[in-house]
Structure 1
Amino acid sequence: MGDLLPIKDPVLVFALVATLILLAPIVMGRWRLPGMIGLLLAGAVLGPNALGVLARDQSFVLFGTVGLLYIMFSAALEIDMAVLKRYRLHSVVFGLLTFSIPMSIGLVVARYLLAFDWPAAILLASTFASHTLLTYPIASRLGITRNKAVTTAVGGTIVTDTLALLILAVIASMTRGEVDELFWYRLGISLALYVGAILIGLPLLARWFFRSVGRDGVAEFVFVLATVFGVAALSHLAGSEPIVGAFLAGLALNRLIPHHSTLMNRIQFTGEAVFVPFFLLSVGMLLDLRVFLGGPRAWIVAFAMVVTVIGTKWLAAEATRPLLRYSRDQARVVFGLSVPQAAATLAATIVGYDIGLFDDAVVNGAILMILTSCFLAPIVVDRHGRALALTEEAAVPEEAGPPQRLLVACSTPASARPLLELAVLMRDPAQGQPIYPVTVVTDGEDAGDAVARAESALARAGTQLAAAEVPAQPVTRIDLNIASGLLGVRRDLRGTAIVVGWRGRTTPHELFFGTMLEHLLRDRHYALVVARLVEPLNTCRRVVAVLPPNAEHEDGFRAAMGFIKKLAQQIGASLLIVSPQDSEGRVKAAVQAAKPEMEFRMQGQERWTALKRGVIGLAADGDLMVVYGVREGGLAWDPVTATLAPRIAEKLPNANVLALYPPEPRDDGNEPL
């Protein structure tokens, strides 16, 4: 057996790991336990300290470290920045609570119960204060990541982990005799430069890359990986740890990677399928029960560490109920997110062991603490997260209306790609409806060849949507003209919105905003989105919505503002509303009433006739201009309104421009978009 175990064949090792990743959720699901618990147990049983089937070699260390950083990066990437901004005080309060309570109680336990000297006691107490967002993927799958409790727990992570890691740096430097008069200045300046470079410099670099280079999905994904791990690798130069760098990188890239984009799907899939499972297996392999056979001290240290971390993290989470007015389920979810120990705990324990502050009992106590917390946390988050998700679902009444069905006019693969990206951002994932890429072939002698070319182009569109895990149903139609074909498909499929593009030439009014647009607008019961997209939408910094006089009285105004606010949220952009000054109050109230909730600014124009000049003067690099379109006969329609979108597009040739024509409600009051 000594020659056969541990398994050394890399192909067989990977096959075994893949099997464990596959079976863990299935087996644990029979006991209604999260799959990650199965991976932790598998690592402990098959690892070098038990059966010895798998060795914790460099491959497991490498992929485990990558998985840990991936968890921190993904957690920051999925934060709703608008919710985080709204509840930033909650994050700071909880961050201080989950640091100070474990730190103070842990210091008493380490100093007076376990009889450590002061440096070792302070360092051990800091391991109780930190935590790792190991259970965040569970919250993500349950769809509660935008709940204020989850956002608070995630935001508090950076506070408590940064403070804990600062204590690690100070204690280690003091033990090595490196603390002098300049130590604090060097530490403060290096951290400030590091954080500033990430939060300011990384978004600029990423925006440039997505605009200039990253039109290919693989290139975008590799760029994200390279920047995140590059930033994490530089953390030691600033006196920090890689997990802090990975978290900050996620915050920096948050606005540039929409939550429902193809790139986000690739990031989540890679982490959940490969990196995070390797991390769980590598953590399980650390447990060595033989240490506990050496005497009672190992048991006392381990028991004290496990009880202290669970008790203090529970107290910190419970404190959110009276202080932040959280419900029981919210407080339990906060506890489940903040109790797992991994990255900072391992870092502090290993450093403390290397410099002589900790012995083997503390190291194995830390490993047992990690395993216990990682076993308990998924159960808590899964149970109370489900209850929280059901509560949120019951609190939001379903709006009556037809299912959302988006049609995208595709002529060539190059022109269709940005339109499909826009449709993915418009789509409501909760409804599970597909997107319909549509190509209309004009009837003629060569219609057969044109249909074959159209089907080939639509196959590429389906591939693009499949990469974002969005179902697609391509449609090819032969008709007299494009407008008639699109309207025919819309009626057949009961489509709620059509996304079309125009080429953005020097005379867009003549080329597009003529008879074709008039024909498309004859059907008043669907939303028409006309898009001229010259840059990736995720690089837009601001959405500028231009509203004509009396737009707030239009029947489709609420649906239109809901679309604009959702789009701004998806791409992480701020929202500026430009409207006539005399109706600014009414417009503001109407925009606030439209869901979802988000902050926005108003910019009033004294004269409607000067609106075009005012909008062009307000335009800046990275703006997405959205013009509220009005169908002829509407309260807000006039000849100037009809030509506003093409004029803005002509004056701003390098800007993304959308003309949005909302639907008019049917007799049943439905406003699909």
Structure 2
Amino acid sequence: MISDGLGIPITDSVAIFWLAIVVFLVAPLVLDRYRLPGIVGIIIAGATIGPNGLGILERGETIVLLGEVGLLYLMFVAGLEIDFARFVETRERSLVFGLLSFLIPQAVGTAAGMVLLGMSFPAASLFASIFASHTLLAFPVVSRLGLTDNESITATIGGTIVTDTIALLVLAVVVAAEVGTLDATFWFQLVLGVSTFFLGVWLVVPPLSRWFFRTVTQESSLEYLFVLAVAFGSAFLAMVAGIEAIVGAFLAGLALNRQIPHHGPLMNRIEFVGNALFIPFFLLSVGMLVDVRVLLEGWETLLVSTILVVAVLATKWAAAWATGAAFGYSESERMTMFGLSLGQAAAALAIVLVGYDVGLFGESVLNGTIVMILVVSVLSPAIVERYGREVIRTTGREEVTEDRLQRILVPSSATAEHRRGLFDLAFAIRETETGLDAAPLYALTVVQPSPTVEADVAAAEADLEETVAYAAGAAVPVVTQTRIDHNVASGVLRATVENRISTVVVGWDGAASRGQRVFGEVIDQVLVGTDRLVLVSRVREPISTTTEVTVVLPPGIEYNQGFDEAIRQIKRIASDVGASIRAVAVDDDGEPTRPLKASASESTVEEAFDAVEPEVPTQFETTNWERLTDRLAERTGRSQLIVVVSARRNALGWHPELRTLPKRISGLTDGNFVIVYPARGERDDRQFLEMR
């Protein structure tokens, strides 16, 4: 009976879940009035209604289970959202910060335990490892601020694995020594289990996920369930290998990082469910551990609490500032690193509870740890919120103005399957910086007049509604338009002008065209009729399975007025899917539209390419037109994306070879390729409207 559980504490599962949801809803709203992070409100609410507060809820099996799931989910999302290319590129910085963030607290904590608390060396070592690790309590703040691709934040997130792994290994070694099982067999099993686990996840998950996303095209819920299976399966296998489950969840996120575009429907579902449900349960569970009354239980608990709080603040600050000084991070970046690494929960609780069970710690250490968790749970998000905003202000983010507002048009008459590929491409190039999230995508279908025009319009609108539903999964607003026009290209061009479109993403089936046409009558007319950035695309495989982007750069293309913006979109695609870039520069000094002599201030194509943000690992090579086809034939796998930065006829960078190159690529590969036509600058939009 439900009524049986309405006493205090509440024991009915429905009532518990309802109360938790109310807390998740109300606490952030209340804290927002005082400009404090919402996650602090959930932690405080947990302390208030928990067993050590008003006693409304017990920290029973349901809360504990959902809290553990939330922690694993948090670590998994951290692995997914990290800029993988930058993580690999700066892995030594993650290692340095992780080691400093562990070694400094470990040394200080061991000394404090032995000198101030009279502990033995093993007990003092375990005492230090309580705060030598850290939990990414403030990661939701970092994610909301859009700082996951900042190098200092990437180093901090990567360093989490280093600190937690070493701290939990210290726990395993100290406990084994205490119970008398620290022998050669222990070391053999530990090294074998950890190495097998890391190699197994890293070698199995990426190819398995590529196969799954390429093969399964049914309900998107299956994709989400597959992701959960990988995340929690890796967490379980980590425990089997003798390390903590959070390490497995984070590694699963890294392994899937390249396969899940950061701005696609699947990633949006992962973040939505986590931020709305799983992660708040973890924060609520942490709050229920807090008991401020332990400070009144005696001077020993107060002493331990003080030592832990002062030590974690001082040592994590020292590690962040030492790393920042070594790698040239700003003051605000160092303080954000400090705030993010200050959080304590999972590993700290695991260590102190095990130490208490084996008799190395007394109740004062257990209670002192809970007090420390309360203090840093409030400070960590607040520090990250304060200095994270400062990082945004000082890292040179461009201000958004109406003139540079990105507007993407996707005209399509393709099947639903291939239309989704075009929209996945549009999602990847869509700007998501602060202030640009409100810009919708524009989906257009042009219907030609016929006796069945009304039925054709109804069918087109139904198809567009499917597109809206698909884009809603990625939290991307879509404006749909259906036009009736004898000339399809004219309808597309009018929509481009009327909606002030900056980028057109159009699909091509790769079929050969008549005469001198490059793509076909409609697309060629669009290219002639607009000076906007145009991406002519054939997308047959999921964009998320791309592992390498091959970019063809014709001679002189770097002098094209829209070169920077075109390269920015290409890099955005590669960054979104975690792919590297191989740039193939075509060397042809006889190219007629190239300037006869470049000034000393004009950069080469490689320098111009590298100067465009975002940073993506890129390798350059050169070839000529005769050998280009053979070079591209080497990169026709299903996980390859070929991109040609072309130019309109007689524009800088145009070459007669570009007229037939799209057809040759279509014959080379059944995979994805895009022909990018850079914008040619502003011109009077009225001339577009004069086209018939």
TM-score in same-fold range (> 0.5): yes
The match for 1:527 is 533
Q: CA deviation at 1:183?
A: 2.4
The partner residue of 1:95 within 87, 93, 98 is 98
Counterpart in the other structure of 2:678: 662
Shift of 1:466: 1.5
Q: Shift in Å at residue 102 of structure 1?
A: 0.5
SS in 1 for 2:641: strand
Deviations 1:153-200 (A, max 9, x none): 112111111111110111122222222123223211221111111122
Q: Which moved more, 1:448-457 or 1:592-601?
A: 592-601
Paired residue total: 664
**How far apart are 1:215 and its partner, in Å?**
5.1
Q: Distance in 1 between matches of 2:613 and 2:402?
A: 15
Give 2:494's aligned amino acid.
G
Are 1:603 and 2:606 counterparts? no
Query: After alignment, is 164-173 or 88-97 more displaced?
Result: 88-97
Question: Is the Cα contact below 8 Å between 2:105 and 2:311 reproduced in 1?
Answer: yes
Task: Quote the offset at 1:508 in angstroms.
Answer: 6.7
**Contact 1:77 1:251 survives alignment (8 Å):** yes
Q: Do the aligned partners of 2:637 and 2:669 also contact (CA within 8 Å) in 1?
A: no
The answer to whether residue 618 in structure 2 is matched with residue 615 in structure 1 is no
Distance between the aligned counterparts of 2:389 and 2:30, measured in 1?
A: 20
**For the Cα contact (< 8 Å) 1:440–1:476, is it kept in 2?**
yes
Greater shift, 338-347 or 145-154, is seen at 145-154
Q: How do 1:368-387 and structure 2 match up within 5 A?
A: 368-387=371-390
Report if the CA contact (8 A) 1:440-1:486 is conserved: yes
How do residues 535-574 of structure 1 correspond to structure 2 at under 5 angstroms? 535-574=541-580
Amino acid at match of 1:644: L
SS in structure 2 of the partner of residue 429 of structure 1: coil
Shift of 1:320: 3.1
Which whole-Å CA distance do the structure 2 matches of 1:597 and 1:288 have between them? 47
Question: Which residue of 621, 626, 644 maps to 2:643?
Answer: 626
Q: Which amino acid is the alignment partner of residue 406 of structure 1?
A: I
| Per-residue deviation, 1:145 | 2.1
Where 1:285 maps in the other structure, the secondary structure is helix
Superposed displacement of residue 301, structure 1: 1.9
**How much has 1:509 moved relative to structure 2?**
7.2
Matched ranges for 1:221-620 at <5 A = 221-393=224-396, 396=398, 401-411=403-413, 412-430=415-433, 431=436, 432-504=438-510, 507=512, 513-581=519-587, 586-605=604-623, 607-620=624-637
1:85 corresponds to 2:88: yes
Change (3 A) 1:215 1:499: farther
Q: CA distance change for structure 1 residues 294 and 504 in 2, over 3 Å: closer, same or farther? A: same
- Partners of 2:408 and 2:505 in 1: CA distance: 7
Contact between 1:258 and 1:264, CA under 8 Å: does it hold in 2?
Answer: yes
**Distance between the aligned counterparts of 1:614 and 1:86, measured in 2?**
26
Tell me if the contact between 1:190 and 1:238 (Cα under 8 Å) persists in the aligned partners.
Answer: yes
| One-letter amino acid of the counterpart of residue 451, structure 2 | E
Native 8 Å contact 1:545 1:578 kept in 2: yes
Alpha-carbon deviation of 1:398? 6.1
Contact 2:638 2:672 (C-alpha < 8 Å) held by counterparts: no
Q: Deviations over 1:222-269 (max 9, x none)?
A: 111111011001112211100111111111111111221111111111
User: Judging changes above 3 Å, is the alpha-carbon distance between structure 1 residues 78 and 452 closer, same or farther for their aligned structure 2 residues?
Assistant: same
Alignment partner of 1:119 is 2:122: yes
State whether residues 98 and 129 of structure 1, in contact with CA within 8 Å, keep that contact through their aligned partners in structure 2: yes
8 A contact 1:499–1:529 mirrored in 2: yes
Q: Report the more deviating stretch, 67-76 or 584-593.
A: 584-593
Which piece of structure 1 moves more, 610-619 or 643-652?
A: 610-619
Q: Distance in 1 between matches of 2:553 and 2:219?
A: 35
How far off its partner does 1:326 sit? 2.5
The range that moved more, 395-404 or 523-532, is 395-404
- Deviations 1:47-73, CA, capped at 9 Å, x for gaps: 112221111111111110011111111
SS in 2 for 1:627: strand
Q: Within 2, Cα distance between the matches of 1:44 and 1:115? A: 31
Give the 3 Å change call, closer, same or farther, for CA 30–556 of structure 1 in structure 2: closer
Structure 2 SS opposite 1:576 = strand
CA distance 1:635–1:315, shift in 2 (3 Å): closer
Q: 2: CA distance between counterparts of 1:387 and 1:55?
A: 39
**Corresponding letter in the other structure for 2:289:** L
Instruction: Tell me the equivalent position of 1:41.
Output: 44
8 A Cα contact 1:509 1:646, kept in partner: no
Per-residue deviation, 1:90: 2.4
Kindly tell me: are residues 399 and 192 of structure 1, through their superposed partners in 2, closer, same or farther at Cα, counting changes over 3 Å?
farther
Between stretches 158-167 and 608-617, larger displacement belongs to 608-617
* 1:381 to partner: Cα distance: 0.9
Shift of 1:396: 4.3
Question: Would the aligned equivalents of 2:541 and 2:638 in 1 still touch at CA under 8 Å?
Answer: no
| Cα-to-partner distance string for 1:567-589 (whole Å, 9 max, x where unaligned) | 11111111011122457993212
CA–CA separation in structure 2 for the residues paired with 1:54 and 1:197: 41
* SS of alignment partner, residue 549 of structure 1: coil
In structure 2, the residue matched to 1:671 is none
Deviation at 1:2, TM superposition (A): 10
Summarize the Cα distance change of 1:509–1:532 in structure 2 as closer, same or farther, 3 Å threshold.
farther
Q: Show CA shifts across 1:90-113 (max 9, x none).
A: 222211111111100100111121
Q: Distance in 1 between matches of 2:585 and 2:326?
A: 41
Deviation at 1:504, TM superposition (A): 4.1
Note the alpha carbon deviations across 1:369-411, whole angstroms, 9 max, x for none.
1111111111111111112222224x64668944211111232
- 1:233 and 1:104 map into 2 onto residues whose CA distance is 31
Contact map agreement 1:529 1:658 (CA 8 A) in 2: yes
Cα distance change, pair 22–397 in 1 and its aligned pair in 2 (3 A): closer
Q: Which residue of 1 aligns with 2:192?
A: 189
Amino acid at match of 2:144: R
Structure 2, gaps ≥5 residues long:
592-602, 685-692
Structure 1 unaligned residues grouped into runs of 5+: 669-673
How far 1:11 moved relative to its partner?
A: 2.0
Distance in 2 (CA, whole Å) between partners of 1:178 and 1:563 is 57
Query: Does structure 2 retain, via aligned residues, the 8 Å contact 1:502–1:512?
Result: no
Report the aligned-residue RMSD. 2.2
- Structure 1: how far apart are the matches of 2:450 and 2:201? 57
CA distance in 2: counterparts of 1:586 and 1:69, whole angstroms: 47
Whole-angstrom CA distance in 2 between matches of 1:378 and 1:83: 24
Query: Cα distance, 1:9 vs. partner?
Result: 2.2
Q: Equivalents in 2 of 1:512, 1:410: separation in Å?
A: 18
